[in-house]
Structure 1
Amino acid sequence: MRNRFYFQPKYFLYWLLVFALGRATFLLYHWPRTSQLDAASVARTFIYGVRLDGSAAAYLCLLPFLLLVAAGWFPKLRVARIIGVYTGVMGTLVALLTVADVELYRAWGFRLDNTPLQYLSSPAEMAASAGSSPLGLLALIFGGLLLAGYWLYCGLLTPLPPQPARFGRLRAVAVALLYSLLLMVPLRGGVQQIPVNQSDVYFSTTHPFANHAAINVPWNVVQSMPLGELQQNPYQYLPDTTARRLVAQLYLPAADSGPAPRILRMPRPNVLFIVLESFTAKLVGHLGGERGVTPTLDSLARTGLSFRNIYASGDRSQKGIVALLSGYPNQPTTSIIKFPRKTENLPNLARSLGAVGYQSSFYYGGELAFANMKSYLLAAGYQRLVERQDFRRRDQNSKWGAHDHVLFGRLLQGLRQQPAPFFATAFTLSSHEPFEVPMRPRFAGTSETNLFRNSVAYTDHALGQFLRAARQEAWWGRTLVVIAADHGHHLPGNSGGHEPAKFHIPLLLTGGALQPHLRGRSIATFGSQTDVATTLLAQLGLPTQEYRWGRNLLAAPPVAVPGGFAFYCFTDGFGVVQPQGAVAFDNAARRIIERDSTVTRQQLRQGQAYQQQSFDDFLGR
């Protein structure tokens, strides 16, 4: 009587086994790379990959499970044949994707996604691309996968037992429906806050191939469809030669400019990079914002090196992280971090510093799977990641994870054990919505603006406590501390999505490695998050050529932009800020949204050229 209701969990298991077989096929097909992995790493490709396998299996189980719900009410309904045909069709499609993937990975270096769709309108090119493939071997693998899938199905799932005669319809429907509802858990990869994504299966800091092997190909193909990766640049405002020339001028140093001042007491200091969630200049006193909200940052401006006119590259955390660590501009309708195969080609401070002996770590109180950040950080070469699951459960006292004072405590503990020179990055989270913080409110009232003020004040306070403790540590005297925001905020004042005020953020340098005579100095040049990596590497005497979208903020600005410039993106639009004013442009409507009267036509052309060229670069990654 119970055997009929074993079918659904066994059907889910069937797809897990099919996907495990596909992964084994991938590893064997690429044996030269697989042989470079140790046995534990090979095993982890299956262990970590099971989350995406389970999500894909859950999607494939939805229709058969709903058919079994209907069969519970209509016992004579012959669903076994329908499920068999459906499984055969889906199994053939999975086998086809598996075979296409194992060969395309050899040529492309990334797992199959929606990229082949661009060839559907060019069958000749598609045939030419497949010309060098070992078609006989691939056909043999395809046939083997079909036979294995058929054998598994026959051995595990046939025949489908009839529904027991005395088993009531309501009970039968209830059991089948319960199994269907339980699919929601594997479908989203578990019960965590953020649905499963590629980051959840990335585990290796040294072998990108191992991370790639853990990806489920059918899931990856379907997941990539809504991303709508463009193949042509929709932002063709100028002839390409003109756009390239205008962008090159933005980074061309003045002919008579001398060397940039040295701000460090030593050539290879430790670097501690602190990224503050949503810290808008509107709440930072020394940047002309409200007084009394960020006393720590305002104090650092008097004792460190501050930059008054820095703007975020975008309006989301994942965009700010890429801009700060890779010096890479944002995209107006998507984000490069959604495409791990693109972010693997980006430069990154962790990799640049790691090449000269720096030990790297990244600390975050939340889940790094959020917005694919984990895959980005692992591809960047970070050697150690600390995230929500690494904190004690009692310390996960925020909706997002561990509050900032807990994060800074863990950071302080970790830096005591980290070999020098180190490059450590910490990313706060408490000033993110819903702005709940473990501190007595400094600003009365429950308005969203005051809740936000209190959350910023709390993080500023936690940062101050951390810095006071850090100054007592042995590593402080040889450490440069870089403090920047990931993006700004519309509060207070409800700035429009295109307004420069929403993107204005703090950037400060402090620490024992800073030259004493530069402390308290303020830099007026206009710049972007994309300039931070270049500025830091230039001070360390390291190459910056890979960071083509950044300039040294401490060097003389280019002749084309005497006071510097900042470019930022919002939803299908961009803005350019220079000392003479700002202009915001709507890409969809192809018109100016807002423009200061002092802004020249050349500034708009520079923004259009930047948008055009940066998106060309994104498409080519």
Structure 2
Amino acid sequence: MFDSSFFLLLRRLGLMLCIYMVLRLLFYLFNYSAFAEAGFTETVLAFIHGIRFDVAAILAFNSLFILLSVSPVGNILHQRYQQVLKWVFILCNAPFLALALVDIEFFKFIGRRSSNEVFTIADDVVEQLGQLISYYWYVLIGFVLLLFALLKVYPAAPAIPSPQPRQWLRYLRLLIIAGITVFGVRGGLQLKPLRPNHAFVLEPAALGHLTLNSPFTFIKGIGKTQLEQKHYFNSDAALLAALQFDPQQYANPDKPRKNDNVVIIILESFAAEYVGALNNGRGYTPFLDSLATEGLLFENAFANGRKSIEALPSILAGVPSLMEEPFITSPYQSNELYGLGTLLQQAGYNTAMFHGAANGSMGFNNFATRAGLQAYYGLDEYPDELRKSDFDGQWGIFDAPYLQYVAKQLSEFQKPFMATLFTLSSHQPYTIPAKYKDRFPKGELEIHESIGYADHALREFFRTAAKQAWYKNTLFIITADHTQKSIDPAYQNEPGHYRVPLLLFHPTDSFASISAAKIAQHVDIPATVVNYLNIPTDKLLPFGHSLLDSTRNGQAIFYNGNAYTLVQPDAVTELNMRDEVRFYTLKELGTAASPAPAAEQMLKAQVQYFRNSMVENRLYFWKK
């Protein structure tokens, strides 16, 4: 029964297991800073634990190959049959080997292994394939070399095969191997099949990403349509009490209204690490630093996600990224939602979004509509006569000309207006116009020069805007979509991966009474705008609170694929997928001496609210 064909199958699958381990080693070396806190023993254990996930992925993707390799019919060791089998093997594995190689670099951007989110950026990847290849040419070469090596070392069938077993033994062998395959794919005999969160059993938790492999997380993401509900609190009233949230807080219609304009500027990849005003003058943003002296720059501000596609729901609708899939592409994207644009429209505002990339990129245009933004200005709307000269050759329009275009467009808007502007020049490959080459500090990371250029474009935008009639009556909110590559150890920790600038500025108003030390986050922005303008509403979500509320010290929540984290001034609370809680402090980044039960209740309340309300489409369950 276990003849040469069986042992040949084991050798071929063993080859894939070795390749997966080599890819894990490359993943570790290319992303060493993410695992630098781990000791040698823990790192080795992560590699060993990863074998379980490798076996599951290899057996899943090679099911057809395995079936054909132990077929009970015909001469499976025939030369022609073996040639067909070889190409089945290559075709079954090549796409996922490519994914694993790509994820070695992509992990730097999203902070976790890729899942089915690759489908959400497929159109952008196809459109930008040429420049991606030119930039990450070594990944393509690595893939070609890997395929070549796979073809060369693929175990060949013996020249003189041993006699095949009797027919009934071949059928029995097929049944046994099928059972072993199913057992391996589900990861063992445990109650529930192997899942990504099973990888996070070592400390630091980042080792879970090393244990996993990208093909496994990808296949586990396919068809994942529903969040698992939580029941930490047994009633809506108890949940709201734990959230310390009053839906009617801003529902008073008698407060005097302001009709100031609102401009939200989202800077691509402006990590807090790059901002001089947040790092004792060490940075690449001289204009943003100068603006911070006139406005309110929060010292501890956080994004609620790690990707651009996760930023818009947080900033424009108060929806943090607390699930594997971005809200924009999730099964819950059609849930009832009241975006900031919708609330301001109801108050008589004209609303719009500007993004100089191709229309449809990351689904921004569709979500802008969902968030109540009446007009969308993308690459298609940019003047034809300027498009060729101002195009960056990669993604869209260079920041400097595009921000000038936005300033002029805003001058034509009927007041009051609310506009969102998303920049792009500080996006990989960090292209800047030739005339600006060597004008800005190159720094230590390739992104630094483009940060300097984008900051210059922001300076020129404000210089033009200051001459417009609408400027003096406008609230500006400036933040970044997410962080980027890091060289500062102070930011190479879980909270640090989410730290972005967040600045409030008004040419004729002051925020001096608000502490810059309070915790701020993206989902605070809708409540802050509503509070500043005194717009009555009961359609704000409980994740964020107005940054102008001096009675609150602020908080921030995010999800890294394995655990939820709540950042508060006195404690950082982490809740993993096994409902285990740990506490540490933001400054020490070490285990807290004592637990923080109030923080634990708050975090569990936010997790339950998010999960259950998404599944049940009850984000505003108090609304009549």
Aligned-pair CA distance for 1:364: 0.5
Offset of residue 467 of structure 1: 0.5
Give the superposition deviation at 1:503.
Answer: 1.0
Would you say 1:554 and 2:548 are equivalent positions?
yes
Counterpart residue identity of residue 270, structure 2: F
Are 1:243 and 1:610, in contact at CA under 8 Å, matched by a contact in 2? no
Q: Quote how far apart the aligned CAs of 1:249 are.
A: 3.6
Partner deviation per Cα, 1:473-520 (whole Å, 9 max, x = no partner): 1111221111111122342337888611111111112233x42x5469
Q: Which runs of 5+ in 2 are unaligned?
A: 1-121, 131-218, 585-589, 618-624
Report what 1:541 is aligned to.
534
Report whether the alignment pairs 1:581 with 2:546.
no
* Matched letter for residue 359 of structure 1: N
Deviations 1:131-162 (A, max 9, x none): xxxxxxxxxxxxxxxxxxxxxxxxxxxxxxxx
* 1:80-119 superposed Cα distances (whole Å, 9 cap, x missing partner): xxxxxxxxxxxxxxxxxxxxxxxxxxxxxxxxxxxxxxxx
Query: Which residue does 1:353 correspond to in 2?
Result: 344
**1:283 paired residue number:** 274
In the aligned structure 2, how far is the partner of 1:396 from the partner of 1:409?
Answer: 14
Aligned partner of residue 282 in structure 1, secondary structure: helix
CA distance in 2, matches of 1:481, 1:618: 31
SS in 1 for 2:516: strand
Aligned-residue offset at 1:252:
4.1
Q: CA deviation at 1:281?
A: 1.2
Q: Report if the CA contact (8 A) 2:425-2:432 is conserved.
A: yes
Does residue 296 of structure 1 match 2:287? Answer: yes
| C-alpha contact 2:272 2:499 (8 A) present in aligned 1 | yes
Name the structure 2 match of 1:408: 403
CA deviation vs aligned residue, 1:425-480 (integer Å, no higher than 9, x gap): 100111122222223346666x8x52212121211111011101111111112211
Of 104, 127, 131, 1:192 maps to 127
Distance in structure 2 (CA, Å) of the matches to 1:441 and 1:464: 18
**How much has 1:528 moved relative to structure 2?**
1.8
1:527 offset after TM fit, Å? 2.6
| Aligned position for 1:524 | 517
Match of 1:610 in 2: 606
**2:418 match: secondary structure:** strand
Matches of 1:252 and 1:524, distance apart in 2: 22
**Which residue identity does 1:192 align to in structure 2?**
E
- For 2:311, the aligned partner's letter is G
Deviation at 1:242, TM superposition (A): 8.1
The residue identity in structure 2 corresponding to 1:565 is Q
Residue 421 of structure 1 corresponds to which residue in structure 2? 416
Preserved contact between residue 257 and residue 534 of structure 2 (Cα < 8 Å)? no
Identity %: 28
Match of 2:426 in 1: 431
Deviation track 1:181-204 (CA, whole Å, cap 9, x = no partner) reads xxxxxx969973499xxxxxxxxx
Alpha-carbon offset, residue 575 of structure 1 = 1.3
2:52 match: none
Listed one character per residue, the Cα deviations across residues 41-80 of structure 1 (whole Å, up to 9, x for unaligned) are xxxxxxxxxxxxxxxxxxxxxxxxxxxxxxxxxxxxxxxx
Cα deviation 1:558-585 (Å, max 9, x = unaligned): 5xxxx32111122232211111232444
Match of 1:567 in 2: 557
How many angstroms does 1:267 deviate by?
1.0
> 2:308 aligns to what?
317
Q: Secondary structure of 1:413's partner?
A: helix
1:390 and 2:390 matched? no
RMSD over aligned Cα atoms: 3.8
8 A contact 1:244–1:609 mirrored in 2: no
TM-superposed CA distance for 1:333, in Å, is 0.9
**1:505 and 2:500 aligned:** yes
Aligned equivalents of 1:507, 1:190: Cα separation in 2: 30
2:478 aligns with one of 455, 476, 483 = 483
Partner of 1:372: 363
Question: Partners in 2 of 1:318 and 1:189 — Cα distance?
Answer: 12
Describe the shift of the 1:225–1:505 C-alpha distance in structure 2 as closer, same or farther (beyond 3 A).
Answer: closer
Deviations 1:254-289 (Å, cap 9, x if unpaired)?
xxx9999xxx99810111111111111112222236
Structure 1 stretch displaced more, 374-383 or 334-343: 334-343
Q: Is the 8 A contact 1:295 1:460 kept in 2?
A: yes
State the AA in 2 paired with 1:533: P
CA contact (8 A) 1:267 1:541 kept: yes
- Match runs of 1:206-221 below 5 Å: none
Residue type of the partner of 1:481?
A: F
Contact 1:313/1:329, CA 8 A, preserved across alignment: yes
Give 1:551's aligned amino acid: H
Q: Retained in 2: the 8 A contact 1:275–1:425?
A: yes
Report the TM-score when normalising by structure 2.
Answer: 0.56
Letter in 1 for 2:305: G
Matched, 1:328 2:319: yes
Q: Distance in 2 between matches of 1:232 and 1:332?
A: 8
CA distance in 2, matches of 1:314, 1:188: 21
The 3 A distance-change label for structure 1 pair 495 and 452 is farther
Q: 1:440 aligns with which of 437, 440, 455?
A: 437
Q: In the alignment, which residue of structure 2 is the partner of 1:24? A: none
For normalisation by structure 1, the TM-score amounts to 0.57
What does the per-residue CA deviation read over 1:155-189, in whole Å, with 9 as the maximum and x for residues that have no partner?
xxxxxxxxxxxxxxxxxxxxxxxxxxxxxxxx969
Q: Within 2, Cα distance between the matches of 1:518 and 1:496?
A: 27
C-alpha distance in 1 between matches for 2:535 and 2:127: 41
Distance in 2 (alpha carbons) for counterparts of 1:301 and 1:520: 15
**3-state SS of paired residue (1:480):** strand
**AA matched with 2:532:** Q
Aligned-residue offset at 1:368:
4.1
- Cα separation, 2, equivalents of 1:382 and 1:371: 16
Change (3 A) 1:593 1:404: farther
CA distance 1:230–1:188, change in 2 (3 Å)? closer
**Cα distance, 1:530 vs structure 2:** 0.8
What amino acid is the match of 1:491?
S
- 1:548 is paired with a residue whose SS is coil
Of 308-317 and 495-504, more deviation after overlay is shown by: 495-504
In structure 2, what is the equivalent of residue 39 of structure 1? Answer: none
SS of the counterpart of 1:450?
Answer: coil
* SS of match in other structure, 1:240: coil
Superposition map of 1:7-86 within 5 A: none
Q: CA 1:247–1:320 in 2, change beyond 3 Å: closer, same or farther?
A: farther
One-letter identity of the residue aligned with 2:473: R
1:430 aligned counterpart, secondary structure: coil
Shift in CA distance, 358/315, structure 1 to aligned 2, threshold 3 Å: same
